[in-house]
Amino acid sequence: MRLFVSFPIFCSIFLFFYSFSNASASIEMSTQPATKAVLAAKSLLLGIATIGDEKLVAVGQHGHILLSDNGDTWQQASVPSRTTLTNVYFFNEQLGWAVGHDASIFHSNDGGLTWQTQQLLPEEENPLLDIYFKSPTQGIAVGAYGKFYRTNDGGKTWENEFHQEFLLADDVDYINDLKAEDEEAYQNEISFILPHFNGIVSNGNTLFLFGESGLLAKSTDFGVNWQSFDSFYQGSFFSLETSLTGTRLVAGLRGHVFRLHNDGDQWQEVITDSSALLNDIIVGPDNAIYIIGNNGMVLISSDDGKSFSKHTQKDGKTLIAGQWFKGRLIAVSDVGVKVIQLPQR
């Protein structure tokens, strides 16, 4: 059995924040409200999203959820838990959801000012890593070891789904035999046998799922059925994005970037001249494409992802996720919010 000891597995420098040995401490933290912290905007933050065109929301360690209308000053929201949050998504200017450790899901219906618990399962000891809603009622949350939760009532209830289609052929036979012989052992095994689902992204009517061991798949029925892409890379993927022209890009370990032009059949590797772990892809104005990663890495493309120039932030801090907001690239990192310094175009 693999040991999953960190939230987003790509943040290896933070391994000490989460392990099975601190389960009791995790339960205690998860049931206490997040405390107000003057330096919250300078603490470990792991996810960032826009709320309409006028606000940003960032989430991270200690249950911190922060709001800003300019990217420089931040207001801390009221959150009912101190569990580490890994990602956040807003369907519109009022309705938002955040996910994190302990299979936690929190919901806001007032633009992020206050949050309510929809799911909190400290006994799971596994983080959720991404969430997406296609309507105010229909949503999906994914995470470590193939965790996959679905709601059809706006998050009032969440149902756990086991997507066996992502198992290897030998594992399918093993799981089916185990289910017939020992239901308890089967339930325990399916909790850890799937690869980590690192993220879920929608483009039009197509949903994309990406994760560990080269996992990359798409669905046209909101995740009920999945079609995996032919394997072309065995490392983990941490971000997928579609450019303004319809070109798809996926990025992950050791500077690897792959490109699929206009829903073609073959993903092509893009040479980046970088070995940094790449965490997020952001599409900016004029179809400029930015990829951010560890060691302050920023890759920039002005030709629809065919090539990238390499730029490194002077402080070398890990850049985990980003958004283009009011003419600037705003990122979250291990030292909080950062405005990325970009070269003159």
Q: What is the pLDDT of residues 103-140, one digit of tens each?
A: 999 999 999 999 999 999 998 878 999 999 999 999 99
Q: 341 and 328 in contact (C-beta within 8 Å)?
A: no
Quick check: 21 pLDDT over 50?
no
Tokens 């289609």 locate to 165
Residue 154: what pLDDT?
98
Q: Which helix (H) or strand (E) holds 210?
A: strand 206-211
The amino acid present at 219, given as its one-letter code, is S
Average pLDDT in the 273-292 region?
96
Quick check: 8 pLDDT over 70?
no
Query: Which pTM does this prediction carry?
Result: 0.91
Rounded CA gap, 221 and 337, in Å? 36
Structure-block tokens of residue 339? 């405005």
Name 3's Cβ contacts closer than 8 Å, sequence gap at least 6. Answer: 20
Kindly list the domain boundaries of the chain, sorted by start residue.
1-34+43-137+152-160, 162-194, 196-340
What average pLDDT does the structure give for the chain? 90
Residue 26: what pLDDT?
60
Confidence of residue 265 (pLDDT cuts 50, 70, 90): confident
DSSP state at residue 39:
T
Confidence of residue 345 (pLDDT cuts 50, 70, 90): low
CA-wise closest residue to 98 among 83, 148, 73, 208? 83
| CATH of the structural domain 196-340, one choice from 1.10.1060.10, 3.30.1490.20, 2.130.10.10, 3.40.80.10 | 2.130.10.10
Tokens 């992020």 locate to 112
DSSP state at residue 341:
-
